[in-house]
Structure 1
Amino acid sequence: MNDTKALGDIARFVRRLQWALVALATGWLVWLMGPILTPFVVAALLGWLGDPLVDRLERAGRSRNLSVILVFALMALLLALSLLILMPMLQRQVATLVQSLPHYRDWFAETAVPWLEQRTRLELSTWLDPEYLIEQLRVHWERAGGFATTALGYLSRSGFAVFAMVANVVLIPVLTFFFLRDWDVFVERAASLVPRDHLPVVSRLAEESSEMLGGFLRGQFTVMLVLGAMYGIGLWAIGLDLGLLIGIVAGLLTFVPYLGPASGLIFGVIAALVQYGDWKHVAGVLAVFGIGQVIESYWLTPKLVGDRIGLHPVAVIFAVLAGGQLFGFLGMLLALPVAAVANVLLRYAHERYTQSRLYAGRAPAIVVPAERATESGIVIVGDDVEDDGEGEDKA
């Protein structure tokens, strides 16, 4: 009996070790093929987000191909309209930023640095002196030369980088169309590989992960658009030349909790101080982001996002940063899907744990007083109780 139990434990350990090795090998391959996998991951996310609308059109009586064409055309139209509206606007804002850089430099050197020096007692202006910087460059010429060599080597490879970026841009719409068309086929083939004994549990977890993450991404994307427009229009209304650019950046960064409004607030305050130098416009910037945060907290996020992903903002920030550190841009794309699936698995593990004997323990023994045990015919042996069979007859 003991030998059989020991062999079972060894077999269980070997199976777990095999799964761990498979997971490590998969992570290593993803890390190696990150640049190649990026367009496939983006297209898969777009296909997954568009598949519910395709299924809805199918249920309305349209064919799968026609439904895919309609959804794909809608996505392409929205993207084209966004580019047509945003690109000229962003181009003008970037040109304004380039023209304003000398003013920001002067403000930083003549206002911000003296203010910081006065309160921190640190000699910060020395590090910003051009003569001092040239002297440091001359002293560390070898290091600068090595850096220049590295930069030139990167620039010499930039042609391939540009070609790869263009190839990815071309691949994404093509791959998105095929993911939209064959998404149900991919799901069925993946389900056919699951062991039959585990199919109900895996199907339940997959549905929960899909509903949670799909609702979160759709809602969060809408929140990003609304807040970006709100911040941009608000900052433009109070007179900031870079208001639209700051608002759009703040809206996009809203995907990471607290990073969007914090960065937008900092950039907006600096822009107001450089452009106007008074506290009236700074108060306007604070009002814009304050109103935006109230609307997001009490209306946008509860209505559009809710608590669908079930992750704390700190966990979301950690997932995005950890994914970017481990796998670059691909890791940032995969961070939230992986975090959502991990959260569903942790909830399932918690559910199983609370139903296990390890959590509940053994069934509590029935404690019967000695007098009542004697009257009922229960024989007390040590700390246990035992019925001699006569208690029921006497009752």
Structure 2
Amino acid sequence: MNRKSRLLFIITAVVLSTFFLFWGLSKAKGFFAPLMMGIILSLIVLPLAKRMERKMKRSVAALLNSIMLFLLSMGLMAIISFQLRSLAEDWPRIKEVMKPKIEQLENFALKHTPLSREDVKEAKNGSAVQDKMTSGERIADFMNKVTSFVANYFLTFIYVFFLLNYRHIFKDFLLNVFPDRKKETVKTIITESARVAPQYLIGRLILIVLLVVLYSVGLGISGVSNFILVSVIAALLTLIPYVGNIIAFLMAVVFGFVATGDTFTLVGIALTFTIAQFVESYVLEPYVVGDRVDVHPFFVILAVILGNMVWGVIGMILAIPVMGILTVVLLNIKELRPFGILMSKKEFSE
């Protein structure tokens, strides 16, 4: 095999291996997504667990931390559920207000785009066909999704307990897999990797709470209906870099301006998001989050897109801490260091 053929073979093997790796991950989402979420959550509470272990058994500390995370997630879900119930009550009124605006949008699209009325009717008929599921099929589909969600939801906190309680086993396994000359490098990777995820996500959670307050004040004054729900979702969407802010703004416009038609509401929404983005980018982000994850913005975008393709919203949320850990690993392995330098946002003079 000559040099060109060998290079072509290697490139083909890498491309196919990468494709089947991510294809396999997408198919095994039900297994890997809760496990990965459990790993990240266990890393977040690891410093607290270590402090608690000074006064109690490790198993008790692990159990208490798992319960604490579970109760926090239930509280967040309760807030969103309460707001969704309020939205459901207001939906008939919002739907009536939005109806003429949707018609105006259709007329604008028909006038200024190549779309025809037949295309619009075909799209409506397509959605109507999808809505013709029997009640039994809908119930079965709903129950299947609920069962899958509940199972993965509880599995995540079970994983947190086991990972915290038996973390020494995993550490000893990694240290014994590699030869003695590599043990110091492995220890460095474990220490730095364990610090990346909690530092980033704890900073991001503090940022989310502050943004919820900012959004709630601004959107509430602007007259956006269900402004608490919109504020919470908008703040949570900041976990998805770049794209999340755009989705949050469009959602606020739908619940605000489109639902009421008030120009003051639209101006208020625009001012709220402008001020919030300024405060987030130049005040909160540098001091609350800072440079907690050493990943170049270009690869952050790629990771978020890939995470969405593989695991959806959960993949987008986990993309940045996973990329941060991967960068740490690459930078500390001599043979793979060039790839770590490529993904890092630090400048290397060597």
Which of the five TM-score ranges fits, normalised by the shorter chain? 0.7 to 0.9
Identity fraction in percent: 24
Contact map agreement 2:26 2:311 (CA 8 A) in 1: yes
Contact map agreement 2:62 2:165 (CA 8 A) in 1: yes
Q: For 2:189, what is the secondary structure of its paired residue?
A: helix
Q: Distance in 2 between matches of 1:335 and 1:300?
A: 21
Deviations 1:12-65 (A, max 9, x none): xxxxxx999998886665444321233222222222221111112224x43323
Relative to structure 1, the CA distance from residue 330 to residue 288 in structure 2 (aligned partners, 3 Å threshold; closer, same or farther) is closer
2:68 is aligned with 1:74: yes
Q: Distance in 2 between matches of 1:30 and 1:351?
A: 22
Higher mean C-alpha deviation, range 343-352 or range 161-170:
343-352
Match among 239, 256, 259 for residue 255 of structure 1: 239
2:287 is aligned with 1:303: yes
> Counterpart of 1:201?
185
Gap regions ≥5 residues in structure 2: 1-12, 342-348
Q: Distance in 2 between matches of 1:352 and 1:34?
A: 27
2:32 is aligned with 1:37: yes
2:97 is aligned with 1:103: yes
> 1:352: how far off?
10
> 1:268: how far off?
2.6
Relative to structure 1, the CA distance from residue 161 to residue 114 in structure 2 (aligned partners, 3 Å threshold; closer, same or farther) is closer
2:44 is aligned with 1:49: yes
Relative to structure 1, the CA distance from residue 154 to residue 207 in structure 2 (aligned partners, 3 Å threshold; closer, same or farther) is farther
Q: Distance in 2 between matches of 1:281 and 1:20?
A: 50
> Counterpart of 2:215?
231
Q: Distance in 2 between matches of 1:252 and 1:351?
A: 31
> 1:103: how far off?
1.9
Match among 315, 322, 325 for residue 338 of structure 1: 322
> Counterpart of 1:90?
84
> Counterpart of 2:257?
273
Task: State the one-letter code of the partner of 1:326.
Answer: V
> 1:154: how far off?
8.5
Deviations 1:305-347 (A, max 9, x none): 1111122444223212212323556644653343113322454
Larger Rg: 1
Relative to structure 1, the CA distance from residue 36 to residue 66 in structure 2 (aligned partners, 3 Å threshold; closer, same or farther) is closer
Task: State the one-letter code of the partner of 1:249.
Answer: I
2:209 is aligned with 1:215: no
Relative to structure 1, the CA distance from residue 245 to residue 166 in structure 2 (aligned partners, 3 Å threshold; closer, same or farther) is same
Contact map agreement 1:113 1:125 (CA 8 A) in 2: no
Relative to structure 1, the CA distance from residue 33 to residue 124 in structure 2 (aligned partners, 3 Å threshold; closer, same or farther) is closer
Deviations 1:121-176 (A, max 9, x none): 336572586xx449x95xx9xxx989979x99797565444333232233233332
Q: Distance in 2 between matches of 1:329 and 1:265?
A: 18
Q: Distance in 1 between matches of 2:119 and 2:22?
A: 44
Q: For 1:254, what is the secondary structure of its paired residue?
A: helix
Q: What are the equivalent positions in structure 2 for 1:13-162 lying under 5 Å apart?
A: 30-59=25-54, 61-97=55-91, 99-110=93-104, 112-115=105-108, 121-122=112-113, 126=117, 132-133=121-122, 137=125, 159-162=143-146
Contact map agreement 1:35 1:330 (CA 8 A) in 2: no
Contact map agreement 1:256 1:316 (CA 8 A) in 2: no
Report the aligned-residue RMSD: 4.0
Q: Distance in 2 between matches of 1:257 and 1:23?
A: 24
Contact map agreement 2:59 2:165 (CA 8 A) in 1: yes
Deviations 1:192-233 (A, max 9, x none): 222222121222233223322321122112222321342134
